[in-house]
Structure 1
Amino acid sequence: MKIQPECLPCLLKRILFETELSTSDKKRQTQALRTACTLLAELYDPAVCSATIATQVHKAVYDALKDTDPYRELKASSNAIATALIPRIEALITASPDRLRASMRCAIIGNIMDFGIDGSSATPQMLTEVFDRLYAEGLGHDDYVKLKNRIKNATSLVLFTDNCGEIVFDKVLCRELKRFNPALHITVVVKGAPILSDATEQDAKEISLQDVVDELFTTGCYAVGVDFTHLPPAVKKALDKADLIIAKGMANYESFSETSYRPIAYLLRTKCDAIARSMNLARNMSAIKLYE
């Protein structure tokens, strides 16, 4: 997805959020914000992918803050709160006539575990407060039947994760994918370096995500979404041979929508107008959207 005008205030709002998260030093905050504004003015180009620009701006801010992971405490808290919700999720899955569908709905709700932007959680605790309401709302866009048929006939699937907290629910989803299709080879790809509240290999291993999948790889670098120019060869190979790709969250949509990878299913909350418009969906809905 190309960067849109409304991406600018959204990106700056998140920059402000992470500077305040990182330090109370006003001089350092000011330097980081100046760095972001200057670089964003230089980089803004409607012909460039939004995730590409966001990656460069966030990297410059992290450097200015001298902080490699401003979200570290939020990420740990997110995983803990999501883990506490597992008994509720397991009960929903057990009671559902379609375990896989229920696990997908839960995994999508986990996508609100994003911070510093509109439409996301204000705090990790918010997930507990809104979970039941969002589950009752169901899916605003529902390609589940088509996706389920793809999963049934697939032998290999690559899943790109998004946020901490959310990956706790993704682990349950991966387990249910295996339960539905025991022959399915599942490769999960997490971030190659700390970026925003996204899950890294360390975050994934802390919840033993590797125990329910066949392979766990990283994107190989610091990037919002996916930087395809720096993907490790093993990930490129997995993508090329995959029968199906599942991408969680908006940043992965921003990146993958610039490619021809198909079939690909996006499991996400449409937290902003730009993403919703690009996907031809309404804002603030849970969605399973399959591109074939």
Structure 2
Amino acid sequence: MKVHYECLSCFITQSQKISELATEDLEKRKEAMIVAAKAVQKYYHRNAVPAIGGSLLFLELYRLLENDDPFKEYKRISNKLAKKVVEELRKELKIGLKDALKLAIAGNVIDFAVGYNPEKIEEDIEHRLNEELYIDESEELFKSLENAKTLLYLVDNCGEIYFDRLFLEKIEEAYPALKIYIAAKEAPIINDATVEDLKEADFGKVGKIVSSGSRIVGNPL
């Protein structure tokens, strides 16, 4: 994604959120925001990649604030609530491959980094499960999986990983010969899932857990 004028306000808003989550010390928070304001000149320019610039800024703040995982509690809450929703869906519904795909897509609403309220998980997921996909290329995906030998699945945020796991279970059932690899961040960055998060969610039962080798938002190539 190319840099956009709104990226500037996002850099600052995220920096404020990180400082508030990382410490109760008001002077430290103020210092962090001064660092963020100065760093904008370095990371916000015409050719910048927002995910990379933002990540480098956030990691600077982590070091300054001496907190390597400010979103830790939010991630724990989102994982707990999402896991509960998935368990209830398993009991209430017969979930097929297409349903699991829709749930994995719906899981993308669970993103604390953009101000999501974790208490809305169940309501949002059930609402989206009953909607049709606006762009539906599921048949093309399933046909590709029939002919594939391996699948590399890149996870995103905590919380939604439990819907990803359900989808991967259904993929494993439908394509038992498929070798599945699931990649997550090497270390914490905002609310992205890490390798440790995947281990805790038992992703090892549906595939091989691997590190993306990165601590940058997204997956820079």
Relative to the length of structure 2, the TM-score reads 0.93
> Equivalents in 2 of 1:104, 1:174: separation in Å?
9
Q: RMSD value over aligned CA atoms?
A: 1.7
Q: What residue number does 2:153 align with?
A: 159
CA deviation string 1:188-237 (max 9, x = no partner):
10000011111111111111111111x21112232111244xxxxxxxxx
Relative to 1, partners in 2 of residues 1:206 and 1:22: Cα closer, same or farther, differing over 3 Å? Answer: same
> How many residues were matched structurally?
221
SS at match of 1:164: coil
Residue 225 of structure 1 aligns to a residue in which SS?
coil
Distance in 2 of aligned mates of 1:65 and 1:126: 30
Structure 1 position 136 matched with structure 2 position 130: yes
Whole-angstrom CA distance in 1 between matches of 2:88 and 2:22: 33
Report the secondary structure of 1:31's partner residue. helix
Q: In 2, Cα distance between the equivalents of 1:134 and 1:24?
A: 37
Q: Deviations over 1:40-74 (max 9, x none)?
A: 22221222322111111111111121100001111
SS in 2 for 1:174: helix
| Cα distance, 1:142–1:12 mapped onto 2, change above 3 Å | farther
Where do 4+ consecutive residues of structure 1 move more than 4 Å?
A: none
In structure 1, the residue matched to 2:217 is: 224
2:170 maps to which of 173, 176, 189 = 176
Contact 2:43–2:54 under 8 Å retained in 1: no
- CA 1:100 to 1:178, structure 2 compared with 1: closer, same or farther past 3 Å? same
Q: Aligned partners of 2:195, 2:82: CA distance in 1, in Å?
A: 18
Correspondence 1:1-292 to 2 at 5 A: 1-91=1-91, 94=94, 99-117=96-114, 121-122=116-117, 124-213=118-207, 215-228=208-221
- Alpha-carbon contact 2:110-2:116 (below 8 Å) kept: yes
More strand per residue = 1
1:151 and 1:181 in contact (8 A); partners too: yes
Give the fraction of aligned pairs with identical amino acids, expressed as a percent. 29
Cα 1:55/1:171, change in 2 over 3 Å: same
Per the alignment, in what secondary structure is the counterpart of residue 137 of structure 1?
Answer: coil
**1:92 Cα shift?**
6.7
Helix, strand or coil for the counterpart of 1:162?
Answer: coil
Long gaps (5+) in structure 1: 229-292
Amino acid at match of 1:121: Y
2:3 aligned counterpart, secondary structure:
coil
Cα pair distance change 1:38/1:66, threshold 3 Å: same
Counterpart contact for 1:18–1:116, Cα < 8 Å? no
Contact 1:22 1:70 in 2 (8 A): yes
Q: For residues 170 and 143 of structure 2, what CA distance do their matches in structure 1 show?
A: 15
TM-superposed deviation, 1:134: 2.1
**Secondary structure class of the residue paired with 1:158:** strand
CA distance in 2, matches of 1:116, 1:193: 16
Separation in 1, partners of 2:67, 2:60: 11
Give ranges in structure 2 of 5+ residues lacking alignment: none
Alpha-carbon distance in 1 for matches of 2:110, 2:18:
15
The separation in 2 between residues aligned to 1:152 and 1:146, in whole angstroms, is 10
